[in-house]
């Protein structure tokens, strides 16, 4: 653990990413305390520019809503959807990949053809269709994102399991009479953890982008203020008030960037031999 | 000897090695070389203040166990140290120049032309996508020598010189089309291409079979004499040293503990460590193999057959069938150690894996306690496997890195219904039995050395109280002194627990030491089966004889005995 932290710290970008992400998490957690009023509520005249009034440091949007409050509540939505949808896609992808990799043969073939079926459909189009079918809500958005993002997990886990199942310690476990489920669960999966963690951190970032894109198209949860929705709403007034699109965009960029930096740091720390930096 | 280009490139800096043979001139002088390891390594210096010299026209063997720093010193000469490791002191004088002070471009000119290197694994030293003659031509191209057609011609001359059959054909082959020994010959040809003054050979025969090893050693010694090169030969194997060395330097923990002529060091070692290493080499003297074999057989194998199929997929192409095991039958007596020896590809590992059903045999039966292991499945197989367990080759791959040692050992009994508390208590006992501290239970495998890990693997195999243990190359990955300890442990346990052992190995010395009877395999067939004494002293088959004659260091041992 100490080693892990030391190697992680060596990647300066990863540390910056971690600090950024912690800041976003704190803002999301404390949003209701910092901004007790709903972010949907009109508080001032529309198009109040940033830094004009101390009370509303980032100004107001086209309907006079507080932009900074919107950003803070948007962080909640982005992180929630990013995390939960990633957990769901891991829950689909890991068992599928593990079974395919361990058993091989026709099980592998059929599971992989099934996975490819999802991979061949453009993921964003599929997500739009899914959300449009189920009524936009947090649940349906999470489900849609999870359904389009599990195939890479299954592929990764399958590959790892494929190489691990012929290891001598797995053979020893077979000889000692352990059940197949025990072997997969205790001998193989713990050793696939590092690449999964790295992939998961990057998937959270992709999920946030997907959610923002969906909300931008008006397919977000209508009760939740999200960054994508804010950009979408400000799109028509981009010439009068560019900052209304720019600020939530910046929030997305920083959050996604921080997750990618962390992912790379995790990769260096968990797979020290593959570290691209060498020293 | 068509070497005009090379000697021209070299100029007259070198004295002629042949004429100076009477008074050896050092080609390379290493003084107080110190190479530091990154922080957190087990010692501060990989190489700690070593000094030695390499004379023209001699073979200097650097011997040591893994981690002794022998390869690091060679890599330092070539400027090939890994990123985190750097020389911190001393000098490597070659031709009056300190190699440690040279820039990368200066080194580029030196590598290959003046100092060449042969590596351990010929497959990874060759580019798999390039034809052999192109790879050899590349050596000249890198130094801007010769015209393309001359390069090809030289390639064939070199291949002829290193004794590859049908050099014209081999020149147009890809590395995968050649055997391991032929690939190593190609690597040697590439090293010789520019007539270097110094040849560094880093464990060049370790990955090869014993008969091939003997040929390659012979080739290196022969080429060294013909070209008057200085050869720095790195090895862990004293048998190889006895075959090839003029002088020997023994390394331990980054220091040279003993240096001298081969005869001095091998016959009258002065340092304790050298003495210990030499004593640890299994002698070819077979034990008192008078153990009555025809006791009730613990295991009876009848007509075991296994073949592998590959290719021949959807779009056809002929299916390739490799007959790994062809109709093999033998009996294993209770309390007996049966050695299965053979070169790589002889099918010896497949036999072991078929016995425990890690692979399913195509035909034949494996009778164990009246039941045919070869045709059991499901729950019955699971129960039958309790009495036949396996020890694996690689101490690093055979233990789950994410499990604690206690769990690794206790898992088997727990899976068979032993209460977990009892299983862990038994694991502690087993650890003690194999000579480890019972507190090891709460530690992870990576905290142990190779030898200790192999002991953990043995404890795991014993946990289910088997009657038979299959040891598949169980000591091949270990250093010779550790190897001796593990072999002693196995022998001891076998007697204490009345186990029967199937010992699969490529190393005939090891087989001689531990086995009561030995089965020799070649290309899937059982060539000869007899007591260890018969196999070593009166082999009936030519193949067995050629295997035994190829054992490095055998000649010297015979001379010492007579």
Q: Do both B333 and B232 map to the same domain?
A: no
Residue of B397, B411, B417 to mutate, interface with A, max A Cβ within 10 Å: B411
Grouping H, G, I as helix, E, B as strand and the rest as coil, residue B504 is strand
Alpha-carbon distance B400 to nearest alpha carbon in chain A (angstroms) = 6
Interchain contact, A190 vs B402, CB within 8 Å? yes
For residue A157, the model assigns a pLDDT of 95
Return the minimum-mean-pLDDT range out of A50-54, B399-403, B509-513. Answer: A50-54
Cα of first residue to Cα of last residue in chain B, in angstroms, is: 41
Cα end-to-end span (Å), chain A = 20
Q: Which span out of B64-68, B319-323, B333-337, B465-469 was modeled with the highest average pLDDT?
A: B465-469
Q: What is the CA radius of gyration of chain A?
A: 22
3-class DSSP state of B362: coil
Nearest Cβ partner of B397 from A168, A176, A186? A168
Pairing of strands B45-55, B468-472: unpaired
Q: Cα–Cα distances in Å, from B184 out to B210, B306, B411, B523, B539?
A: 14, 30, 43, 21, 29
Question: Looking at residue B465, which CATH number applies to its domain?
Answer: 3.40.50.300
CA distance B473 to B502: 10
Query: Which residue, chain included where needed, has tokens 């992180």?
Result: A79
Write phi, then psi, for B345 (nearest 5 degrees). Answer: 85, 5
Q: Which domain holds residue B540?
A: 297-561
Q: Does any CB of chain B come closer than 8 Å to the CB of residue A168?
A: yes
B382 touches chain A (CB under 8 A): yes
Could you give the C-alpha distances from A160 to A26, B359, B540, in angstroms and in order? Answer: 35, 22, 48
Span B498-516, pLDDT tens digits: 899 999 998 888 888 888 8
Torsion of CA B445, B449, B452, B454, to 10 degrees: 80
Asked if B454 reaches chain A (Cβ–Cβ under 8 Å), the answer is no
Using a 10 angstrom Cβ sphere, with 0-12 exposed, 13-18 middle and 19 or more buried, the burial of residue B327 is middle
Q: Looking at the DSSP assignment, which residues form a beta bridge with residue B468?
A: B388, B500
Look at residues B280, B310, B335 and tell me which one is the last residue of a structural domain: B280
In this predicted structure, the answer to whether residue B427 has a pLDDT above a threshold of 90 is yes
Structure tokens at B11: 């100029």
Using the Cβ of A37 and the Cβ atoms of chain B, whether some distance falls under 8 Å is answered with: no
Q: Quickly count: other Cβ atoms within 10 Å of residue A133's Cβ.
A: 9
Write out the E strands in B262-405.
Answer: 297-310, 320-333, 337-341, 363-368, 371-372, 388-391
B261 within a domain of the structure (yes/no): yes
* pLDDT value of position B532: 86
Q: Decide if B290 is inside a domain.
A: no
Torsion of CA B3, B10, B200, B109, to 10 degrees: -120
Nearest to B531 by CA among B518, B546, B541: B518
Is B285 a member of any domain? no
Which residues in chain B touch residue A173, judged by CB atoms under 8 angstroms apart? 400, 411
Of B299, B317, B320, the C-alpha closest to B309 is B320
- Cβ atoms B203, B241 nearer than 8 A: no
Query: Which residues 358-377 of B are in CB contact (within 8 Å) with A?
Result: 358
Residues B117 and B194 in one domain: yes
- Residue A276: which pLDDT band, with cuts at 50, 70 and 90? very low
pLDDT at A274: 54
* DSSP code per residue over B209-242: -HHHHHHHHHHHHHHHHHHT-EEEEEES-HHHHH
A279/B contact by beta carbon, under 8 A: yes
Q: What is the reported pLDDT for A79?
A: 92
The answer to whether B358 contacts A178, with C-beta atoms less than 8 Å apart, is no
Q: In which band, very low, low, confident or very high, does the pLDDT at B323 lie, cut at 50, 70 and 90? A: confident
Mean pLDDT of B544-548: 88
More confident residue, B1 or A51: A51
Three-state SS for B372? strand
Q: Is residue B287 assigned to a domain? A: no
Number of domains in chain B: 2
- CA–CA dist A151, A143 (Å, integer): 14
In whole angstroms, give the CA distance from residue B131 to residue B175.
7
The reply to whether B83 touches chain A by the CB within 8 Å rule is yes
User: Which residues of A fall within a CB distance of 8 Å from B393?
Assistant: 168
Digit-coded pLDDT (tens) for A99-150: 999 998 899 999 999 999 999 989 899 999 999 998 889 999 999 999 999 9
Interface A-B, measured as beta-carbon pairs within 8 A, has a size of: 64
Residue B295: which pLDDT band, with cuts at 50, 70 and 90? low
Residue where a domain terminates, one of B214, B246, B280? B280
- The verdict on B498 touching A (C-beta cutoff 8 Å) is no
Q: Are residues B262 and B306 in the same domain?
A: no
pTM of structure? 0.79
Q: Which residue has the tokens 């997969």?
A: A184
**Residue B467 gets which letter from DSSP?**
S
User: Residue range B430-440: average pLDDT?
Assistant: 90
User: Given an 8 Å threshold on Cβ–Cβ distance, is A191 in contact with B385?
Assistant: no
Residue B164 lies in a domain: yes
CB contacts of B392 in chain A (<8 Å) are: 168, 171-172
Question: Strand B59-63 to strand B230-235: parallel, antiparallel, or no bridges (unpaired)?
Answer: parallel
Q: Does residue B306 form part of some domain?
A: yes
The answer to the question of residue B256 being in a domain is yes
Long-range contacts of B149-154 (CB under 8 A, 24+ apart): B154/B2, B154/B193
Contact check, Cβ <8 Å, B397/A279: no
Q: Does B93 contact A at CB distance below 8 Å?
A: no
**Helix or strand holding residue A25 (H, E):** helix A12-34
What is the ipTM, given to two decimal places?
Answer: 0.76
For testing contact with chain A, the best of B400, B445, B477 (most A CBs within 10 A):
B400
Q: Give contacts of B 160-189 with A, CB under 8 A.
A: none
Q: Are residues B313 and B275 in the same domain?
A: no
Tell whether B242 and B352 lie within a shared domain: no
Compute the mean pLDDT over every residue in chain A, rounded to the nearest whole number. 89
* Domain closes at, from B227, B255, B280: B280
Delineate the domains of chain A, giving CATH numbers in brackets: 2-274 (1.10.3720.10)
pLDDT tens profile A158-212: 999 999 988 889 999 999 888 889 999 989 998 898 889 889 988 998 999 999 8
User: What is the sign of the dihedral through the CA atoms of B533, B536, B541 and B544?
Assistant: positive
In tens, the pLDDT along A57-69 reads 888 888 889 999 9
Instruction: Looking at the structure, tell me whether residues B33 and B110 fall in a common domain.
Output: yes
Position B395 pLDDT exceeds 70: yes
A272 CB neighbours in chain B (<8 A) are none
Q: Answer yes or no: do B211 and B249 share one domain.
A: yes
How far apart (Å, rounded) are the C-alpha atoms in residues B289 and B346?
25
Do B188 and B313 lie in a common domain? Answer: no
Report the residue of chain A nearest B388, measured CA to CA. A175
The 3-state DSSP composition of chain A as helix, strand, coil percent (nearest 5) reads 75, 0, 25
Quick check: B52 contacting A, CB < 8 Å? no
Say yes or no: B219 and B330 in one domain.
Answer: no
Statement to judge: residues B13 and B67 lie in one domain:
yes
Looking at the fold, whether B249 and B311 belong to one and the same domain comes out as no
Q: Does B84 touch chain A (CB under 8 A)?
A: yes
Angle subtended by helix axes A123-133 and A138-164, to nearest 10:
140
In contact, B404 and B431? CB cutoff 8 Å: no
- What confidence category does residue B311 fall into, taking pLDDT thresholds of 50, 70 and 90? low
A179 chain-B contacts, CB cut-off 8 A: 415
Tell me if A187 and B383 make a contact (CB, 8 A cut-off): no
A177 touches chain B (CB under 8 A): yes
Contacts of B383 in chain A (CB under 8 A): 177
Contacts of A184 in chain B (CB under 8 A): none
What is the Cα–Cα distance from B348 to B539, expressed in whole angstroms?
Answer: 19
Nearest to A169 among B389, B399, B415 (CB): B399
Q: Please check whether residues B236 and B332 belong to one and the same domain.
A: no
Name which of B356, B400, B460 is nearest A187 (Cβ-Cβ). Answer: B400
Within a domain: B243: yes
């Amino acid at each position: 653990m100490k080693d892990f932290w030391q190697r992680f710290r060596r990647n300066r970008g990863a540390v910056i990413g971690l600090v950024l992400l912690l800041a976003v998490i704190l803002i999301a957690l404390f949003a209701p305390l910092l901004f007790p009023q709903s972010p949907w509520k009109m508080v001032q005249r529309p198009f109040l520019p940033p830094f004009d009034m101390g009370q509303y440091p980032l100004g107001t949007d086209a309907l006079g809503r507080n932009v900074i409050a919107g950003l803070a509540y948007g962080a909640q939505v982005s992180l929630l959807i990013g995390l939960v949808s990633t957990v769901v896609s891991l829950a689909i992808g890991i068992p599928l990949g593990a079974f395919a990799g361990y058993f091989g043969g026709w099980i592998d073939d059929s599971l992989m053809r099934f996975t490819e079926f999802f991979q061949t459909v453009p993921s964003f189009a599929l997500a739009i269709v899914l959300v449009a079918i189920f009524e936009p809500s947090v649940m349906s958005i999470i489900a849609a994102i999870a359904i389009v993002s599990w195939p890479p997990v299954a592929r990764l886990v399958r590959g790892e399991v494929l190489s691990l199942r012929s290891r001598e310690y797995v053979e020893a476990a077979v000889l000692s009479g352990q059940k197949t489920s025990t072997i997969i669960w205790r001998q193989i999966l713990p050793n696939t953890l590092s690449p999964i963690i790295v992939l998961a951190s990057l998937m959270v970032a992709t999920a946030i982008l997907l959610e923002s894109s969906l909300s931008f198209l008006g397919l977000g949860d209508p009760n939740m203020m999200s960054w994508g929705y804010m950009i979408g709403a400000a799109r028509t007034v981009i010439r009068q008030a560019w900052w209304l699109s720019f600020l939530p965009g910046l929030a997305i960029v920083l959050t996604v960037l921080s997750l990618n930096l962390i992912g790379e740091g995790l990769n260096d720390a968990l797979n020290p031999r593959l570290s691209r930096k060498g020293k | 000897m068509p070497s005009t280009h090379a000697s021209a490139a070299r100029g007259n800096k070198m004295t002629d090695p042949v004429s100076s043979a009477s008074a050896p001139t050092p080609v390379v002088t290493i003084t107080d070389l110190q190479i530091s390891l990154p922080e957190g390594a087990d010692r501060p210096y990989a190489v700690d203040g070593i000094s030695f010299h390499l004379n023209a026209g001699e073979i200097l063997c650097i011997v040591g166990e893994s981690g002794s720093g022998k390869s690091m010193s060679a890599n330092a000469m070539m400027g090939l140290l890994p990123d985190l490791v750097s020389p911190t002191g001393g000098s490597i004088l070659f031709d009056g120049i300190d190699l440690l002070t040279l820039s990368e471009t200066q080194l580029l000119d030196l590598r290959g032309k003046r100092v060449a290197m042969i590596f351990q694994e010929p497959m990874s030293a060759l580019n798999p996508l390039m034809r052999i003659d192109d790879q050899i031509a590349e050596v000249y191209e890198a130094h801007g020598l010769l015209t393309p057609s001359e390069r090809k011609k030289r390639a064939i001359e070199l291949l002829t010189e290193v004794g590859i059959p049908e050099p014209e054909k081999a020149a147009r082959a890809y590395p995968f089309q050649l055997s391991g020994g032929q690939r190593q010959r190609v690597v040697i040809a590439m090293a010789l291409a520019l007539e270097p003054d110094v040849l560094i050979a880093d464990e060049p025969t370790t990955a090869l079979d014993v008969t091939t090893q003997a040929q390659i050693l012979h080739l290196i010694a022969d080429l060294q004499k013909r070209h008057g090169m200085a050869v720095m030969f790195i090895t862990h194997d004293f048998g190889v040293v006895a075959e090839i060395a003029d002088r020997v330097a023994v390394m331990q923990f980054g220091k040279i503990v003993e240096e001298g002529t081969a005869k001095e060091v091998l016959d009258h070692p002065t340092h304790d460590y050298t003495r210990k290493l030499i004593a640890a080499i299994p002698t070819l003297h077979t034990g008192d193999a008078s153990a009555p074999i025809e006791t009730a057989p613990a295991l009876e194998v009848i007509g075991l057959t296994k073949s592998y199929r590959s290719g021949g997929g959807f779009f056809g192409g002929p299916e390739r069938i490799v007959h790994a095991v062809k109709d093999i039958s033998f009996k294993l007596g209770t309390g007996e150690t049966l050695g299965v020896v053979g070169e790589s590809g002889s099918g010896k590992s497949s036999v072991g894996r078929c016995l425990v059903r890690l692979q399913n045999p195509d035909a034949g039966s494996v009778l164990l306690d009246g039941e045919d292991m070869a045709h059991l499945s499901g729950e019955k197989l699971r129960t039958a496997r309790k009495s036949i367990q396996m020890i694996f080759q690689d101490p690093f791959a055979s233990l789950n890195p994410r499990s604690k040692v206690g769990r690794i050992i206790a898992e088997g009994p727990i899976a068979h219904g032993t209460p977990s508390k009892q299983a862990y208590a038994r694991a502690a006992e087993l650890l003690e039995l194999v000579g480890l501290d019972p507190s090891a239970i709460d530690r992870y495998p990576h905290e142990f050395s190779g030898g200790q890990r192999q002991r953990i693997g043995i404890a795991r195999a014993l946990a289910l109280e088997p009657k038979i243990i299959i040891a598949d190359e169980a000591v091949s990955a270990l250093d010779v002194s550790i190897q001796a300890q593990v072999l002693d442990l196995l022998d001891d346990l076998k007697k204490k627990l009345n186990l029967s052992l199937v010992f699969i190995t490529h190393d005939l010395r090891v087989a001689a030491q531990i086995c009561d009877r030995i089965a020799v395999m070649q290309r899937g067939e059982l060539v000869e089966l007899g007591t260890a004494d018969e196999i070593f002293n009166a082999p009936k088959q030519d193949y067995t004889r050629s295997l035994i004659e190829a054992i490095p260091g055998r000649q010297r041992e015979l001379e010492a005995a007579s």
